[in-house]
Amino acid sequence: MSRYSFLNDYSVGTHPRILQALTTLNMEQQEGYGNDMYSNYAKELIRERINNLNSAIYFTSGGTQANLIIVSSALRPHESVIATNMGHITTRETGAIEATGHKINVINKACGKLNENDIIRVLEAYNFGPHVVKPRMIYISNSTEIGSIYKKNELKKLYRFTQANNLYLFMDGARLGAGLMANDSDLTLGDIAKYTDVFTIGGTKNGALIGEAIVINNDELKKDFPFHLKQKGAMLAKGRLLGIQFQELFKDNLYFDLARHANTMAMKLANGIVKNNYKFLTNSSTNLIFPILPNKHIDLLEKDFIFYRWKKIDDDNTALRLVTSWATEENKVDDFISHLK
Amino acid sequence: MSRYSFLNDYSVGTHPRILQALTTLNMEQQEGYGNDMYSNYAKELIRERINNLNSAIYFTSGGTQANLIIVSSALRPHESVIATNMGHITTRETGAIEATGHKINVINKACGKLNENDIIRVLEAYNFGPHVVKPRMIYISNSTEIGSIYKKNELKKLYRFTQANNLYLFMDGARLGAGLMANDSDLTLGDIAKYTDVFTIGGTKNGALIGEAIVINNDELKKDFPFHLKQKGAMLAKGRLLGIQFQELFKDNLYFDLARHANTMAMKLANGIVKNNYKFLTNSSTNLIFPILPNKHIDLLEKDFIFYRWKKIDDDNTALRLVTSWATEENKVDDFISHLK
Amino acid sequence: MSRYSFLNDYSVGTHPRILQALTTLNMEQQEGYGNDMYSNYAKELIRERINNLNSAIYFTSGGTQANLIIVSSALRPHESVIATNMGHITTRETGAIEATGHKINVINKACGKLNENDIIRVLEAYNFGPHVVKPRMIYISNSTEIGSIYKKNELKKLYRFTQANNLYLFMDGARLGAGLMANDSDLTLGDIAKYTDVFTIGGTKNGALIGEAIVINNDELKKDFPFHLKQKGAMLAKGRLLGIQFQELFKDNLYFDLARHANTMAMKLANGIVKNNYKFLTNSSTNLIFPILPNKHIDLLEKDFIFYRWKKIDDDNTALRLVTSWATEENKVDDFISHLK
Amino acid sequence: MSRYSFLNDYSVGTHPRILQALTTLNMEQQEGYGNDMYSNYAKELIRERINNLNSAIYFTSGGTQANLIIVSSALRPHESVIATNMGHITTRETGAIEATGHKINVINKACGKLNENDIIRVLEAYNFGPHVVKPRMIYISNSTEIGSIYKKNELKKLYRFTQANNLYLFMDGARLGAGLMANDSDLTLGDIAKYTDVFTIGGTKNGALIGEAIVINNDELKKDFPFHLKQKGAMLAKGRLLGIQFQELFKDNLYFDLARHANTMAMKLANGIVKNNYKFLTNSSTNLIFPILPNKHIDLLEKDFIFYRWKKIDDDNTALRLVTSWATEENKVDDFISHLK
């Protein structure tokens, strides 16, 4: 690729420290299937960081895999999961949830987030069982698929509501780093462990080669979880690959530093775009931004950059999706902005 | 681990050349989801090696994942797969095949291999549809779960039988390298592409960090295959991780050299055991051997080595499973043998 | 029930001629599993009536069962079915379709019907496989869940569109009798066989004790269909129960006469309601009507009649659902209307 | 059929009293989906008869349907059900259990019955989770698929074992009447309710038009059960059809009288065969018997009777399966025996 890519946050390999760790530990013999010492240590590190020594932690190679295992292991056959129309499980996973037998109850929300009133409306609409499915889990993303984030108070209220209504709250953290490191975020990893039943910590989109951590806080959801990992093909013989990466990401602040860089680059891009008097399709304080630009400018930008044309706004303007990552080079951001002028 | 492990062929990391390639290519921006240039090149290399430019090739992170996607993408809901009682899908995958809705028709075979007469017996027993499932795919492993291998003539006859009977032949190649490099093997990769509908080339157990290649030779099985990968959580955003590894394994003879080493170490172990007048549970010319040793010797061996106690033979003797790999150190093999004396 | 019920079209038993036939043929020994002579004869009668001797016909005991078998037997795991938000499979079957692994792509349509433009929009939105499911089947109902019907020209255009776009068209005929017998219907059973890939003929809601006929017109969908019936628990040992009923319904015009009566009673009800100057939530020419009445009148009506309060219109008015059937007594209709005054 | 059939116990319609009840109650308006007064009353009658007022009872139209719903509603995705190689779910239901995602752990037993030692062997073989499924339910049949029965002591011991090992015990009672009415049976319906977690009472093979009762004794298995019925297409809109039949069968001793007649006819057949010095493949005291006859006699018998040739014994002899029912005519039994001479 000779053009610089703002397509996504997974276009390069991994942070050099991770490659270094893989190299250093390469020839140590270890047990298989996630019982290696690196995986165990990485779990300890995360448990300390979330301030919950009772959480059960597992690593998977991808996000769709993590999502489908979490949902299918938690629900009985007649139970469903509520998500927004933008939810990754709703739109980008080729029916992975339905393939395990479960309906997704979709709520249209332009902001990409759910609140307790949204859930109430679904519960009322589904109040005539056994002729309809029984909503049992709430799926949210942080940051969301359009870059928005949950505030601590929002998450807390949502969790209390789910607790009071016999619902599980599941936060997809494929971009959890970006969500937590947003300037306007008041959430900590500990808050998320406190106010969800289960969540994921995305590695793939935040500097790992591959890998997501599944963190289960609710005892009910822990039971026999490894069976589900194995059955769905997610238990790697060489679990060490995932353990080493998460060990490296969490033995200090690397995970957070990488996410902060991605956000900083996105905000720099956004500021440059604002200064050129362009608007945005959504509010984002994270590493996904959606500027609305004139098509003729976009044509020119595409000579040097790659990105998604996200949505046609009118005949002359289109909203783009620009994504930054831990690896985004600041001078490329500067280039993009100077091209705008 | 202070003791040396003959537990399995996935106890260390990866061949240094793979780490080197990952490092060299690390910061190149690439497309996601397996559309990176490394994956494309790796596929080309494999197509050349199997001498079939029409085969469709995909990479997954693990063997259970590959197996369940191959089976579930190929079969209609009422169709089943035939396998031996030792088949990995039968016994070691937590019902992964059944979880996709399909029955496994199990054939008890001490040798771990299937022939056309075995299949005929199942077809006759299942000749009263629609009250029973319809066997449609044959699952075989090479090398098998007990180290045995298929000869060219056996595979050819089996494939011709399946062709004539509207059955798909699927070879699980989790240990394909060891199978092909066995001293008594007369099969080539090209033969396997010619005499199967679909097979896998295992990386995890032959020097990769993780990864299996799925090779689809039958056009019927190619249709929409990427949808199934995605739906089952197997399509990695950073498909480059798999592409780089297989590129490295197949750009010269690395894949085969690694397997040959594993076999050589196993044969050296076996010879040493024979010389000490012990027998074996099964015939194996590959990297899994099953010597029968006195329990009191085993107790002593366990002070310095790790391995599975596979099967109790009588009150005084037990069959072990010893596994060698691309990384097995020859001096450890020597140590093991000298302990035997 | 001392109050007269307009709740649904399945509140009483079966047409007396069906009971008579069951009694007459009761002690004849017959083959099981739908191979009895009554089932065979009933299939012949239906094939003649639809003017397609090549259609494959099967009987099931219920509509949800028929729907889930038709969809799951036709689709591969990554394929989905398009339906309206009112579709029975969307809202009233406890996730039966998803439980077989398939997503429903929902289109919101106040009229309860789909046209080719609706489908085009879904196909465009799902034009980025393999990251999304692949829509493959269109589910429509006739008459619909709100009493509306398809005109011949509408069905023909829809079918031509699906033919041109490699989609299957499936018509749920749980209320097919009412749909065909509507005063404004220009469709015949033959048209439906000509312009769908598969459809059902509902018995349960049109005078049978239980039973739906599945009529498969597309050869692709016929293959091994009985296996799917059996696997999903739909193949009755005493298939004769279904065969005798459909034989009786189709050996003359009974099926159509019963539907016509249901419609006539609904139209009489509707006319009486119109004359009292009330409006309707939807246009219906079939046996489901949705009048909007003042709550205080509804309270009084409920002393003598049972029906659903379908939808709150405002603080003072509610839309009811009134359903007539083959068994609705005309004097009860008269009573209802006179209560209105 | 001009020849008399001993093929199965579902070749004719239903006991005349059931037809009479259907006729008498035909025009009464009732609620749908099993909430009719007949279903409620039938459930009360069964609860009294089993001496357990807390059992939850549901009716389905067929046995495969009942089996798949019971198993899939009880098990989590990684759990399996243990059955014999003769179990109806193992061999005669087109993979219905696997289609809901669950493996069947098969135990080969010539007697068709399971005991605690059989289960122990499976539990030991499956003692290396998470790499294998977790056996959670035991499936037994009474009478079995080869006509054998459980004695009270056997059932009690098996139930105590399952209770002690966190396993569910499920008895398929498709032929429960025949099992209970066997001369050598010391079981009562009450015993079965006491010593199983869930069982079925078969109507189809004992005089009903169609219908099986599901009786759930374990509270864990009761939760949300109707959702599963609905999702799998088993909740009939006209549940009255099933309610009326079971009301009639259990309002006095009809259910038991019909089964006793079937057994009596089978024992008469068996005695006649014994007197002619022929042997049997299995011991049966119920309505399925498996005499071994010379092929030349069988050829002659087939001119006047229909039955299954069950199993080739040697070149000259074959085991037949002869089935009697509530409707078997004694003079036809006499005819069969006189043909033997």
Q: What is the pLDDT of residues D225-273, one digit of tens each?
A: 999 999 999 999 999 999 999 999 999 999 999 999 999 999 999 999 9
Extended strands (E) in chain A: 4-5, 56-60, 79-84, 104-107, 134-141, 168-172, 198-202, 212-216, 279-280, 288-289, 291-294, 305-306, 308-312, 317-323
Torsion angle, CA of B296/B299/B305/B308, rounded to 10 degrees?
90
- Could you say which of D252, D268, D295 is where a domain stops? D252
Instruction: Please give the distance of CA C161 from its chain centroid, rounded to a whole number.
Output: 22
Q: Is the pLDDT of residue D206 over 90?
A: yes
**CA-atom Rg of chain C in angstroms:** 20
Q: Residue D341's pLDDT band (boundaries 50, 70, 90)? A: confident
A-C C-beta contacts closer than 8 Å: 56
Percentage with pLDDT > 70 across chain C: 100
Q: Is the pLDDT of residue C341 over 90?
A: no
For A110, residues 6+ apart whose C-beta sits below 8 A from its C-beta are none
Are B192 and B151 members of one domain?
yes
Q: Do residues B182 and B285 make contact, with C-beta atoms less than 8 angstroms apart?
A: yes
**Chain D neighbors of B102, CB-CB under 8 A:** 95, 98-99
Q: What's the token pair of residue A106?
A: 């979709």
CATH of the domain at C305: 3.90.1150.10
Q: How far apart are CA B241 and CA A61, in angstroms?
A: 11
> Cβ separation of B26 and A19 shorter than 8 Å?
yes
Are A152 and A295 members of one domain?
no
Q: What's the token pair of residue C118?
A: 């609706």
Q: Residue C266's pLDDT band (boundaries 50, 70, 90)? A: very high
Q: How far apart are CA C238 and CA D7, in angstroms?
A: 13
> Cβ separation of D92 and B129 shorter than 8 Å?
no
Instruction: Tell which residue, B265, B327, B251, B322, has the closest CA to residue B292.
Output: B322
pLDDT of residue A2: 82
Q: Does A312 touch chain C (CB under 8 A)?
A: no
Model confidence pLDDT, tens digit, residues B192-212: 999 999 999 999 999 999 999
Dihedral of CA A191/A193/A197/A203: which sign? Answer: positive
Secondary structure (DSSP) of A101-162: T--EEEE--TTS---HHHHHHHHHHT-STTSS-EEEEEEEESS-TTS----HHHHHHHHHHH
Gap from D297 CA to chain A (nearest CA, Å): 52
Name the residue with tokens 């009716």.
Answer: D59
Q: How far apart are CA C149 and CA C113, in angstroms?
A: 8
The CB density around residue D53, as the number of other CB atoms within 10 Å, is 8
Q: Do residues A237 and B205 make contact, with C-beta atoms less than 8 angstroms apart?
A: yes
Which chains are within 8 Å of A by 3+ CB pairs?
B, C, D
- Could you say which of A208, A231, A252 is where a domain stops? A252
For A178, residues 6+ apart whose C-beta sits below 8 A from its C-beta are A143, A147, A205, A206, A259, A262, A263, A286, A287, A288
Per-residue pLDDT of chain A (341 residues; tens, 9 = 90+): 589 999 999 999 999 999 999 999 999 999 999 999 999 999 999 999 999 999 999 999 999 999 999 999 999 999 999 999 999 999 999 999 999 999 999 999 999 999 999 999 999 999 999 999 999 999 999 999 999 999 999 999 999 999 999 999 999 999 999 999 999 999 999 999 999 999 999 999 999 999 999 999 999 999 999 999 999 999 999 999 999 999 999 999 999 999 999 999 999 999 999 999 999 999 899 999 999 999 999 999 999 999 999 999 999 999 999 999 999 999 999 999 999 88
Angstrom distances, CA of residue A176 to CA of A81, A216, B50:
20, 15, 43
Are C247 and C277 members of one domain?
no
The CB density around residue C257, as the number of other CB atoms within 10 Å, is 16
User: H helices of chain D, where?
Assistant: 16-24, 37-50, 63-74, 88-91, 96-99, 116-125, 152-164, 176-181, 189-194, 219-222, 225-231, 240-250, 254-275, 295-301, 330-340
> Cβ separation of D231 and C96 shorter than 8 Å?
yes
Residue in B95, B102, B106 closest to D95 by CB: B102
Residue in B72, B130, B228 closest to C226 by CB: B130
The length of chain B, given as a count of residues: 341
Chain C residue nearest residue B223, CA to CA: C76
Are A127 and A218 members of one domain?
yes
Number of domains in chain A: 2
Amino acid making up residue D80: S
pLDDT of residue B1: 54
Secondary structure (DSSP) of C309-326: EEEE-SSSEEEEEEE--T
Name the residue with tokens 């839309």.
Answer: C319
Q: How far apart are CA A329 and CA D208, in angstroms?
A: 76
Are D56 and D152 members of one domain?
yes
Amino acid making up residue A285: S
Gap from A101 CA to chain B (nearest CA, Å): 10
> Cβ separation of C65 and D93 shorter than 8 Å?
no
The CB density around residue A127, as the number of other CB atoms within 10 Å, is 9
pLDDT of residue B2: 83
Model confidence pLDDT, tens digit, residues B56-79: 999 999 999 999 999 999 999 999
Torsion angle, CA of C20/C21/C24/C27, rounded to 10 degrees?
-130
Most A-contacting residue of B5, B6, B10 (CB-CB within 10 A), to test interface: B10
Q: Do residues C219 and C198 make contact, with C-beta atoms less than 8 angstroms apart?
A: no
User: H helices of C4-115, where?
Assistant: 16-24, 37-50, 63-74, 88-91, 96-99
Instruction: Tell which residue, B68, B108, B311, has the closest CA to residue D106.
Output: B108
B-C C-beta contacts closer than 8 Å: 55
Chain D, residues 211-240, CB within 8 A of chain A, namely 224, 226-231, 235
> Cβ separation of B227 and C72 shorter than 8 Å?
no
Torsion angle, CA of B111/B117/B123/B126, rounded to 10 degrees?
-60
- The DSSP 8-state label assigned to residue D204 in this structure reads G
**Chain C neighbors of A132, CB-CB under 8 A:** 91-92, 94-95
Q: What's the token pair of residue C175?
A: 């209320």
Longest dimension (CA), chain A: 61
Q: How far apart are CA D120 and CA D125, in angstroms?
A: 9
At B223 the three-state DSSP class reads: coil
- Please give the ipTM for the structure prediction: 0.97
pLDDT of residue B54: 96
Mean pLDDT score, C148-176: 98
Angstrom distances, CA of residue C228 to CA of B77, B197, C66, D146:
7, 25, 10, 26
Q: What's the token pair of residue A286?
A: 């994270």
Q: What's the token pair of residue B148?
A: 């045995």
Q: Is the pLDDT of residue C1 over 80?
A: no
Q: Do residues A225 and A58 make contact, with C-beta atoms less than 8 angstroms apart?
A: yes
Average pLDDT along chain C = 97
Amino acid making up residue D115: N
> Cβ separation of B78 and C228 shorter than 8 Å?
yes
Instruction: Tell which residue, A263, A226, A284, has the closest CA to residue A57.
Output: A226
Q: Is the pLDDT of residue D68 over 90?
A: yes
Most D-contacting residue of C11, C67, C305, C332 (CB-CB within 10 A), to test interface: C11
> Cβ separation of C92 and A130 shorter than 8 Å?
no
Q: How far apart are CA A238 and CA D259, in angstroms?
A: 59
- Could you say which of A217, A235, A252 is where a domain stops? A252
Angstrom distances, CA of residue B44 to CA of B20, B39, B215, B230:
21, 9, 12, 22
Chain C, residues 104-133, CB within 8 A of chain B, namely 129-131, 133
Residue in C93, C99, C131 closest to A92 by CB: C131
For A225, residues 6+ apart whose C-beta sits below 8 A from its C-beta are A56, A58, A73, A216
Model confidence pLDDT, tens digit, residues A46-93: 999 999 999 999 999 999 999 999 999 999 999 999 999 999 999 999
**Chain D neighbors of A131, CB-CB under 8 A:** 33, 230
Model confidence pLDDT, tens digit, residues C71-103: 999 999 999 999 999 999 999 999 999 999 999
Are C163 and C291 members of one domain?
no
Are A228 and A335 members of one domain?
no
For B89, residues 6+ apart whose C-beta sits below 8 A from its C-beta are B67, B71, B81, B83, B96, B97, B104, B139, B172
Are D22 and D110 members of one domain?
yes
Its domain, for residue A92, covers 16-252
> Cβ separation of C10 and D32 shorter than 8 Å?
yes
| HSE of D309, CA atoms in CB hemisphere, 13 A | 15
* CA angle centred on A197, ends A191 and A202, rounded to 5°: 70
Gap from B174 CA to chain A (nearest CA, Å): 12
Q: How far apart are CA A67 and CA A56, in angstroms?
A: 16
pLDDT of residue B275: 96
Q: Model pTM?
A: 0.97
Are C245 and C260 members of one domain?
no
Q: What's the token pair of residue A276?
A: 């050129």
> Cβ separation of B66 and A11 shorter than 8 Å?
no
Instruction: Tell which residue, A73, A63, A71, A131, has the closest CA to residue A104.
Output: A71
Most B-contacting residue of A4, A58, A61 (CB-CB within 10 A), to test interface: A61
Most B-contacting residue of D81, D94, D132, D309 (CB-CB within 10 A), to test interface: D94
pLDDT of residue D1: 54
Are A66 and A183 members of one domain?
yes
Are A136 and A92 members of one domain?
yes
Q: Does D73 touch chain A (CB under 8 A)?
A: yes
How many helices (DSSP H) and strands (DSSP E) are in chain C? Answer: 15, 14
Report, as ranges of residue numbers, the positions in chain B whose pLDDT lies below 70: 1
Q: Does B69 touch chain C (CB under 8 A)?
A: no
Q: Does D95 touch chain B (CB under 8 A)?
A: yes
The CB density around residue C26, as the number of other CB atoms within 10 Å, is 18
Are D238 and D283 members of one domain?
no
Span between the terminal Cα atoms of chain A, in Å: 24
> Cβ separation of D209 and C241 shorter than 8 Å?
yes
The length of chain A, given as a count of residues: 341
